[in-house]
Homo-oligomer: A and B are copies of this chain.
Amino acid sequence: MATNLWEPIRPPGSLAARIAARVEDMLTQEQLKPGDQLPPERELAAMLGVSRPSLREAIRSLAARGRLVVRHGQGVFVEEPALTKRLTSSMVSDEHSVDELYAMREVLEVPAAGWAAKNIDEAGIERLKQAYDLLTEAGARNADWDELQRLDASFHEAVVRVAGNRFLLRTLGVLNEIMVAGMETTLRHPGRLAQSAREHAAILNAIQDGDSRAARAAARAHIRSAHAAALRYVES
């Protein structure tokens, strides 16, 4: 964790409230991710230029709202959002058929692509292009499957992020986890990688153009061909 994140707290307002607000910002901006450990209270207080009791008040208030969890003797950690936790625990347990999984993905990702096209701005384009470039670059240099899969997932995540619906983001995050945990990637099929790249490009272009209808169509096509590949994988 970069230390300069924790710049001293500036004058006006209540210390604890401002510290809590700062940490909360870092959470939403994802400079702090679930599972991360905060610096020790003494250090953090020094970095922020406040006393330990004041810092502790801030931590308490964040813990009370479920953003942080404090473990005596260990440290202070960023708590996983309750929504994600519940979704994960309730979904991971049973098996779910491939058909159900892809049906669900289609339901979620098609609107996601459509919304992304409507919401697109400079920052969004930047984010999407970056995810896309990383993925194509990895494909070009024959990166290993794990990395390809990870980058593929992060492209889809970027789309959902640009779509701007946090329910959607979390739900899809969980689905992705399940896909990764429960089944091998479908990317290994001969030709699948290249086709997937073309489909990603189509999605990216449609979103960049702000063409919601085309984005939905591209997303639908992508998921259906991935579904077909997954079925072929299951059969083999």
By a beta-carbon cutoff of 8 Å, the part of chain A in contact with chain B is 14, 16, 20, 53, 56-58, 60-65, 72, 83, 86-87, 90-91, 94-96, 100-101, 103-104, 107-108, 111, 115, 164-168, 170-171, 173-175, 177-178
Q: Are B101 and A167 in contact (CB under 8 A)?
A: yes
A72 to B94 CA separation, bound complex (whole angstroms):
31
**A56 surroundings in chain B (CB, below 8 A):** 53, 57
A14 to B56 CA separation, bound complex (whole angstroms):
13
Q: Are A104 and B174 in contact (CB under 8 A)?
A: no
Q: Are A104 and B64 in contact (CB under 8 A)?
A: no
Q: Are A100 and B64 in contact (CB under 8 A)?
A: no
Q: Are A171 and B63 in contact (CB under 8 A)?
A: no
Q: Are A170 and B103 in contact (CB under 8 A)?
A: no
Q: Report the minimum CB–CB distance from A58 to chain B (whole Å).
A: 8
Q: Which 4 A-B pairs have the closest CB atoms?
A: A61-B64, A104-B167, A64-B64, A53-B53
A64 to B62 CA separation, bound complex (whole angstroms):
7
Nearest chain-B residue to A178 (Cβ)? Answer: B83
Q: Are B60 and A16 in contact (CB under 8 A)?
A: yes
**A94 surroundings in chain B (CB, below 8 A):** 166
A90 to B173 CA separation, bound complex (whole angstroms):
10
The residue in A14, A60, A95, A168 that gathers the most chain B C-beta atoms within 10 A of its C-beta is A60
Q: Are B174 and A86 in contact (CB under 8 A)?
A: yes
Nearest chain-B residue to A166 (Cβ)? Answer: B96
**A167 surroundings in chain B (CB, below 8 A):** 91, 96, 100-101, 104, 175
The residue in A20, A57, A64, A90 that gathers the most chain B C-beta atoms within 10 A of its C-beta is A64
A115 to B106 CA separation, bound complex (whole angstroms):
13
A167 to B100 CA separation, bound complex (whole angstroms):
7
**A64 surroundings in chain B (CB, below 8 A):** 20, 60-62, 64-65
Q: Report the minimum CB–CB distance from A219 to chain B (whole Å).
A: 13
**A14 surroundings in chain B (CB, below 8 A):** 72
**A168 surroundings in chain B (CB, below 8 A):** 100, 104, 107
A14 to B178 CA separation, bound complex (whole angstroms):
31
The residue in A16, A115, A167, A171 that gathers the most chain B C-beta atoms within 10 A of its C-beta is A167
A101 to B171 CA separation, bound complex (whole angstroms):
12
